Amino acid sequence: MNYLTGERLSGSVWEGERFKIFGIDFCDLLFGNALKGNIIDCYMKIVSVYNVRNGFEIFCMDTTVQDEVLGALQRLNRKRKLNDDGYRDFLSDLTNDSRGKLEQLDRKLKDRCRYLLFPINIKYHWFLLVYVIEKREFEFRNSIYTSMSLGTARSYANFLVGYMRIMFNYRMDKKVNHVFCRQQGADLNCGIYTCLWAECYARDDDEAWNYEKVCTINSFRARISATILSDDNGLFGKDI
């Protein structure tokens, strides 16, 4: 708390190449509030090194890309679908940042990755869509299941399937498997569960998945906080 009072509250507690986490956003993580996308992006970036140690990679797409793509699809038509001729025009209307991140998929998809992770937010609720390379299909994990969230996950999966086929001639199965997983209570921990599952995919061993089943979610919230602060780019990892 001493570090997050005064100037620290408006200053950064983690600083990467593309974005920062400020003290005011970090307080949401510390004190049980809903997470903003920058916290989830940061944690996925940190845990992505775990899978490299295990001999494979995962790809974590920034939350801002899902937000922009789904918003643009919604404005385009009610079904949130594109025909084959519409992809290039659709992509040209996205920001340079989102287009650049989407283009990274081709370089990582076939050769080195085991999982592709896409955290999605809909009406202030977070859930995780994952493409499993070996199975060539999607998995959907949600701590509060609704048909609306599953429909949104399928819409984004359909977009990715068409994007990869048209832009890179890579065929993905659009099937989305709903994985029955832990459900949250009357709390604001959906973003925490999203981070928990991201770490499990990154580690991808029995210890990680067993921990996911039994851990106290607020203890994991504290673990995320400590991990971010002690990271090389964090407040305690270096002098920001």
**126-153: pLDDT as tens digits:** 999 999 998 989 999 999 988 899 999 9
> What is the average pLDDT score of the chain?
90
Q: Among 4-8, 143-147, 193-197, 205-209, which range has the highest average pLDDT?
A: 193-197
Residue 81 has pLDDT above 90, yes or no: no
List the chain domain ranges: 40-218
On whether the 40-218 domain is CATH 3.40.50.11540, my answer is no
Section 100-124 average pLDDT: 89
Residue 230 has pLDDT above 70, yes or no: yes
Residue 240 has pLDDT above 50, yes or no: no
Residue 3 has pLDDT above 90, yes or no: no
**158-181: pLDDT as tens digits:** 999 999 999 999 999 999 999 999
d(CA 130, CA 158): 13
210's tokens: 């067993």
